[in-house]
Amino acid sequence: MKEKLASIQYLRAIAALLVVFHHARNVHPWLYNPLADFGLAQCGVDVFFVISGFVMYSAARSETTGEFLRRRLIRIVPPYWLATIVSAPLILLNHASALNGPLVAHVADSLLFIPHYSPEHAGEIWPLLAVGWSLNYEMFFYIVFAAGIAARRLVGVAVVTLGLLVVAGLLLKSDNALWRSYTDPLLFEFLAGVGLAVGRERLRSHDLSLLLPIGFVALGLSTMMKLPQVLAWGVPALMIVAGAISLETRGRLPRLKALGMLGDASYAIYLFQVICIGLVGLAVQRLPIHGPLQLVLMIAACMVSSAVAGLAIHYGLERPLLRYLSGRRFPPAQREFTPRAAPSVG
C-alpha cells in the first residue's frame, strides 16, 4: 500500500467540507438565508480537480493501462452507485413535481457517468445524484490517461486531447450535454494538477509555501471580479495545492490527524452529503427557530453529520469493500498517519 501526502489529504477534507457548506446554504423557502447568493464555497470542486490531476499522474507513471483503470473503477464506481441508489428516494421525493423527462434513461445515464440534462433541474447537466457531475469529468480523465499510458505518451496525450477539446468548445458552441461537458475550460484545472506533478521535482528547491495563503486571498478577491471559473477559482486552487505541498516538503506542515482522517473519508463525505443535508433540512424546518440561528444550525448540523457519516461509511464500508475488490481479503497492518509521506496513487 502506498503512502499519502498529508497536504493532499488535508486539502481533500477542506474541499469536501466547502462543498457541503455550499449545499447546506442552498435556497429553501423556509430557511433564513442571507448567503443565498454566496457561491464561493463551490471552489472546493476546483481544488478537487487540481488534486485529481496531481494524484492521477503519480499513479499512472507506475501502472499498466489495465491496472490503472481497474484501480480507479473499483475506487470510484461502487460508492457512487451505492450513494445514488440510497439517495434516489429522497431526491425523487423532493423533486417529484419538477420531473420532466424519462426517469429510466436519467438513472441509467447517471450510473454510467454519461453527462445529460437533468429532468429535475432544468438546464443543468447533472446526474440523479447531482454532486456526481464532477465524477463524469473524473471518468473522462481516466479514459484520457488510460489512452496516454497505452501510447506511452502520458502527458502528451492528456495535453493535446484536453487542450484541443477546450479550444474546439470555444470555437464551436453547442447545447449537446456531452459537448458542453467535455469542452469546458475546467479541463485545464486537471491539466494544471498534472503540470504540478510533472514539475514537482524541479520545484523542490524552491519555497512555494507562500502560494498557500496567496491562493486563499485570491479566492476571496474573486468574488469582486467577473472572471471565468477556471481563472477565478482554478488558478487560486492550483496555488493552494502547490503551496500546501511545498509546506509539507519543507517539513513545516503540522500534524493534524483528524483532518487527515477526514481527507481519507472525503469521497464518502462528498457523495453522501445529499442524504445528510436532506435529513437535516427536514428536521431544522420543523424546529421553532428562525433568523440567523436557524441558518447557523442548518449549516453546522449539515457539516457535522456529513463528516460523521462520511467517516463511518469510509471506515465501515468503503475501505473493506475496496480491500475485497482489490483481492486483499485481510486488513493491512495499521500504519500511523505521517504528514511527510509520499504521494498516494489515489
Residue pair 248/282 in contact by the 8 Å Cβ criterion? no
> Which residue's C-alpha cell is 485570491?
218
pLDDT tens digits, one per residue of 11-65: 999 999 999 999 999 878 899 989 888 889 999 999 999 999 999 998 888 789 9
Answer whether residue 331 shows pLDDT above 50.
no
Nearest to 162 by CA among 146, 178, 177, 140: 140
CA distances from residue 71 to 59, 194, 260, 280, 346 in whole angstroms, order as listed: 10, 19, 22, 34, 8
CB–CB of 313/343 below 8 Å?
A: no
Tell me if 80 sits within 8 A of 271, measured CB to CB: yes
Q: Which residues contact 290 (CB under 8 A, 6 or more apart)?
A: 32
pLDDT tens digits, residue range 202-261?
A: 777 788 999 999 999 999 999 888 899 999 999 999 999 999 999 999 889 999 999 999
Confidence of residue 2 (pLDDT cuts 50, 70, 90): low
Give the per-residue pLDDT at 90: 80
Task: Residue count of the chain, please give it.
Answer: 346
- Rounded to whole angstroms, the Cα distance separating 5 from 51 reads 11
3-state secondary structure of 144: helix
Residue 78 has pLDDT above 50, yes or no: yes
The model's confidence at residue 3, banded by pLDDT at 50, 70 and 90, is low
pLDDT tens-digit series, residues 269-328: 999 999 999 999 999 999 999 999 999 999 999 999 999 999 999 999 999 999 998 876
Question: Which element (helix H / strand E) includes 121?
Answer: none
Number of helices and strands in the chain (H, E) = 15, 0
Q: For 125-134, what is the mean pLDDT?
A: 95
The pLDDT of residue 277 is: 94
What is the pLDDT, as a whole number, of residue 272? 96
* DSSP secondary structure code for residue 112 in this structure: T
Cα(10)–Cα(250) distance, integer angstroms:
16
CA angle, 94 then 134 then 264, to 5°: 100
Q: Looking at the predicted structure, is the pLDDT value of residue 342 above 60?
A: no
Buried b (16+ CB within 10 A) or exposed e, 192-208: bbbbbbeebeeeeeeeb
Residue 346 has pLDDT above 60, yes or no: no
User: Sorting pLDDT into bands at 50, 70 and 90, what band is 98?
Assistant: low
Instruction: Say what the pLDDT of residue 343 is.
Output: 30
**Is 194 in contact with 54 (CB distance < 8 Å)?**
yes
pLDDT at residue 341, rounded to an integer: 33
Question: Residue 166's pLDDT is what?
Answer: 97
The per-residue pLDDT for 91 is: 78
Unique residue bearing C-alpha cell 496525450 = 157
With H, G, I as helix, E, B as strand and everything else as coil, classify residue 313: helix
Q: What mean pLDDT is predicted for residues 107-126?
A: 92
Residue 345 has pLDDT above 60, yes or no: no
Q: pLDDT of 134-178, one tens digit each?
A: 999 999 999 999 999 999 999 999 999 999 999 999 999 999 999
Q: Would you state the pLDDT for residue 340?
A: 32
pLDDT at 100: 67
Distances, alpha carbon 171 to alpha carbons 168, 184, 185, 232, in Å: 5, 12, 12, 22
- Please give the average per-residue pLDDT across 60-86, as a whole number: 92
Q: What is the pTM of this model?
A: 0.89
